[in-house]
């Protein structure tokens, strides 16, 4: 991770869970991390914790609604002005709604597409543009995917969400191919966790907290820090090594 010290990383959805853990890990490694979310109160608290811990990097909170392209573009403009640009883009933000394919509300479907697919694509495009403008040829785009992007969960509540994560799998490979066609050494990686103990299930099953709790009580789940370790592992790979897809799940998880 030595070569990343002082470099700029963008982490979307950095207020809680995996995003917060990744932001903390990168700051600990000496990176300047722009952590964005719709609500930055928790990111500001995390930034203070990182500073108090004496980490060599810095965490810069940025308020951004990723379902709004104008806000994303404004964020990248601010990063360019204040920090020159993005060297590492961690597309972590994602959400799920209980909207089955046969009875779900279009609004919920659209919100999942806006955040899980379009925001990821827009951030990737703008990060690549930022790298090219500054002749950065060793940048990295890391998409936090899901095992739901590789197999369909047998639960109607999850089907549309899984479809958006299948899109992330396809997009990551498409990005990799386009980067190769552009004769760049910028890399693209997909990290696909199984069940991770975060606030995700409680947001997904917000009307049934007992169901959400049961998700995490059934087995020993992954922790957000496990995913952060995977991110630092991927970034630590030698520049000539392309890690395409990291699939990780709890030992006890069946599928």
Computed on alpha carbons and rounded to an integer, the radius of gyration of the chain in Å comes to 17
- Tell me the β-bridge partners of 143: 91, 190
Tokens of 29: 């490694």
SS3 content of the chain, % helix, strand, coil (to 5): 50, 15, 35
Separation CA 33–CA 229 (nearest Å): 16
Instruction: Provide φ and ψ at 91, rounded to 5°.
Output: -85, 90
Tokens of 92: 């972590």
Strands (DSSP E) contained in the chain are 8-12, 32-37, 58-63, 88-91, 140-144, 187-193, 245-248
Give Cα 11 distance to the centre of its chain. Answer: 6
Tokens of 101: 């394919």
Separation CA 57–CA 7 (nearest Å): 9
Instruction: Provide φ and ψ at 222, rounded to 5°.
Output: -65, 155
Choose, from 55, 62, 161, 166, the residue flagged as catalytic: 161
128 catalytic residue (yes or no): no
| Gap between the terminal Cα atoms of the chain | 33
Separation CA 150–CA 90 (nearest Å): 20
- Tell me the β-bridge partners of 75: none
Task: Give the residue numbers marked as catalytic.
Answer: 161
């Amino acid at each position: 991770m030595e070569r990343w010290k002082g470099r700029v990383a963008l982490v979307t959805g950095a207020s809680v869970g995996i995003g917060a853990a990744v932001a903390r890990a990168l700051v600990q490694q000496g990176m300047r991390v722009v952590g964005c979310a719709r609500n930055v109160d928790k990111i500001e608290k995390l930034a203070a914790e990182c500073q108090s811990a004496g980490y060599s990097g810095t965490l810069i909170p940025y308020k951004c609604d990723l379902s709004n392209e104008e806000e994303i573009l404004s964020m990248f403009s601010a990063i360019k002005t204040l920090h020159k640009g993005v060297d590492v883009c961690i597309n972590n933000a994602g959400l799920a709604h209980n909207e089955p394919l046969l009875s779900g509300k279009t609004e919920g479907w659209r919100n999942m597409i806006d955040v899980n697919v379009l925001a990821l694509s827009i951030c990737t495009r703008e990060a690549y543009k930022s790298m090219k403008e500054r002749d950065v040829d060793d940048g990295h785009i890391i998409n936090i995917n899901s095992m739901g992007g590789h197999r369909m969960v047998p639960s109607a509540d999850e089907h549309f969400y899984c479809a958006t994560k299948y899109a992330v799998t396809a997009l990551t490979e498409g990005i990799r191919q386009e980067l190769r066609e552009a004769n760049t050494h910028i890399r693209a990686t997909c990290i696909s966790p199984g069940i991770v103990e975060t606030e995700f299930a409680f947001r997904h099953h917000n009307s049934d907290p007992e169901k959400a709790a049961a998700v995490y009580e059934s087995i020993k789940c992954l922790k957000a820090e496990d995913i952060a370790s995977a991110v630092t592992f991927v970034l630590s790979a030698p520049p000539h090594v392309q890690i395409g897809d990291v699939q990780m799940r709890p030992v006890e998880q069946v599928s």
